[in-house]
Amino acid sequence: MKDVKSPAKNPAPGKQGGLNAEIQSRIGHQLRAMYDDVVRQGVPERFAELIRKLDVPANPPHVGETGGGTNNDGRD
Amino acid sequence: MPLTDALRDDILATVPSLRAFAISLSGNSDRADDLVQETLLRALANIDSFQPGSNLPAWMFTILRNLFRSDYRKRRREVEDAEGNYAKTLKTQPSQGAHLEFEEFRAALDKLPQDQREALILVGASGFSYEDAATICGCAVGTIKSRVNRARSKLAALLYVDGAEDFGPDDTVRAVIGGNG
């Protein structure tokens, strides 16, 4: 936030949209409060079960497939 | 790398923050959980391409972010009840005043361009470094920094410009005037 330029030493309250530290700290606080509220809910059972069920063998047999084109790492 | 028990635990450990990211992005808890489920399935299906020792949360977030992006392109945004729906995901309902403030914040966040919103969440809430956020979003570090800054400016403008006098010395003045009222 240090690269935020404040246009004047004493910006008129309310009119400049000056990003003072207090506003930024409130925004940061609200953002984390919103996010952490979900994080604190932990792992819903449906996902725990999903991961347990998908018990992929450590060394899948790799049958069929000849061309080794499995480079999809999920990044499109 | 192969799916070891330890890796499965690590994947499970990313679920709470994946959900928070998904809800922050989509504004809709049902859709968010679908995104998380799809992310887990993709991650497990592609686990061979995960580099051992690299950043697992960043890898998972990348998958989720890309899924959200392609989903978004497909059906645009059909979440008019985003705020109400999001509020339902809260374990503890905030008090009336806090709830209003929360909804205002949520609405302002939804007004940000998607690029800026995701950058702000990744850096400001998920706690990723600018470098990791850049990897997740597939852009330069400088781009992430500028998106985060623009997101912060815009949120400040949306939320606090009209009420900025609340922060100024006017409060004291008003209190004095009010006290004499």
- Band (A7; pLDDT cuts 50, 70, 90): very low
CA distance B40 to B22: 13
| Chain B residues within 8 A of A1 when measuring between CB atoms | 149, 152
What pLDDT is stored for residue B28 in this prediction?
Answer: 84
Q: How many whole angstroms separate alpha carbon B104 and alpha carbon A30?
A: 11
Q: What confidence score (pLDDT) does residue A6 get?
A: 44
Q: Is A43 on the interface with B (CB under 8 A)?
A: yes
Closest of B16, B31, B30 to residue A48, by C-alpha: B16
| pLDDT recorded at residue B88 | 56
CA distance B19 to chain A (A): 7
The pLDDT of residue A59 is above 60:
no
ipTM over 0.90: no
What 3 state SS string does A14-46 have? CCCCCCCHHHHHHHHHHHHHHHHHHHCCCCCHH
Q: Which helix (H) or strand (E) holds B83?
A: helix B82-88
The residue written with tokens 């499965």 in the block is B8
Among candidate residues B89, B180, B149, B79, the one with its CA nearest the CA of residue A38: B89
Please tell me the predicted confidence (pLDDT) of residue A66.
43
State the pLDDT at residue B153.
93
DSSP assignment, residue B46? T
Each of the 181 residues of chain B gets a pLDDT tens digit; together they read 678 888 889 999 999 999 999 999 988 888 999 999 999 999 999 999 998 889 999 999 999 999 999 876 666 555 444 545 555 555 555 566 667 788 889 999 999 999 999 999 999 999 999 999 999 999 999 999 999 999 999 999 999 875 444 444 444 444 554 544 4
Nearest CB among B4, B40, B152 relative to A47 is that of B40
Give A9's DSSP letter. S
